[in-house]
Amino acid sequence: MSSPDEEEGVDDWVPPSRRPELADVAPLPQADGPCPVVAIAYRDDFREVMDYFRALYAAGERSPRALRITADAIDFNPGNYTVWHFRRVILEALDADLIQEMNFVDQIAECNAKNYQVWHHKRWLAEKLGPDVANSEHEFTRKILYDDAKNYHAWSHRQWVLQALGGWESELQYCNQLLEEDVFNNSAWNQRYLVVTRSPILGGLVAMRDSEVDYTVEAIIANPQNESPWRYLRGLYKGDNTLLVADDRISDACLKVLNNDWRCVFALGLLLELLRMGLQPSDELRGTIEAINNPDPETEHTDLATAVCSILQKCDPLRINYWSWYRTTLSS
């Protein structure tokens, strides 16, 4: 892949040894020592490019030809962080067109969407170019996430751009879109929490909590076995357990889910937290839990939190020892 400021296309690629502008450069071979134990069988064209790269790098040359060699080296190995670093040094020295450079790296990123060095280079460019590229960066990550909705690098870059360069205006709607397409997309739930808590135009968590609880409860009722909204719901009350316990919508959601599926670990786990924090259960909730737990004669007359622990021991056998231990802590 050639850089956009070069006239030659991929099909016209010329080996460095045949380029007139490199005639005065003495290639610097890789120093493997006199008797390498397991010599790597590099392709000839790869070895030639890297020999010329090492020569220019060792000389500290900041020139258009050195920039072109870095493009060749990146084409062979987009993960070579030394090449990317040297390219940044050259770009700064030449005061190069960074918009063209962004186009260059975007082409590489589309084919190497999980390459740390590529995303680091994009962030460096975005920092240099500033808020003017915020929208284009969001569009690029949107394109990557369309192919891989959980690409960590794309999400990390998108979150950095939001916080450093802006572009919050439509981000909540974007989260809505992703969750409409796949409500199990935990990355979209994570992004939604970032937007609700960090966006400078939404007013913060306190201002958004009420509407977000309604949104999340609706998602829970529709798919009770989806862990993401349960965790998101808990996060909406981060640092304020009193409000969490006082909000009837939370315990009502647990009750509604358990009436349909008494084995829902997420509903039982949250209900146990609420009880531990002082929830005064309604008669309907108490009746539901006692009805679920009643078949066990040993726990028929226990308090409600202990009863929930007993139910969890039955329906969550993978963590039966944990729930058994948790049950012993209730008395203290």
Q: Is 114 a catalytic residue?
A: yes
**Which residues fall within 8 angstroms of residue 179, CB to CB, at 6 or more apart?**
185, 188, 189, 192, 219
d(CA 195, CA 175): 9
Q: How many CB atoms lie within 10 A of CB 207?
A: 11
Catalogue the E-assigned strands of 113-216: none
Contacts of 17 (CB under 8 A, 6+ apart): 27, 48, 52
Residue 185's contacts (CB-CB under 8 Å, 6 or more residues apart) are 149, 150, 178, 179, 228
In this structure, how many other beta carbons lie within 10 angstroms of the beta carbon of residue 190? 18
Put residue 97 in one of left, alpha, beta given phi > 0 → left and psi -120 to 50 → alpha. Answer: beta
Catalytic residue among 114, 122, 128, 150: 114
Buried b (16+ CB within 10 A) or exposed e, 229-250: bbbbbbbbbeeeeeebbebeeb
Spatial distance between the Cα atoms of 229 and 186, rounded to a whole number of angstroms: 8
Q: Are 89 and 62 in contact (CB under 8 A)?
A: yes
- For residues 197 and 296, give the distance between their C-alpha atoms in angstroms, rounded to a whole number: 44
The catalytic residues are 114
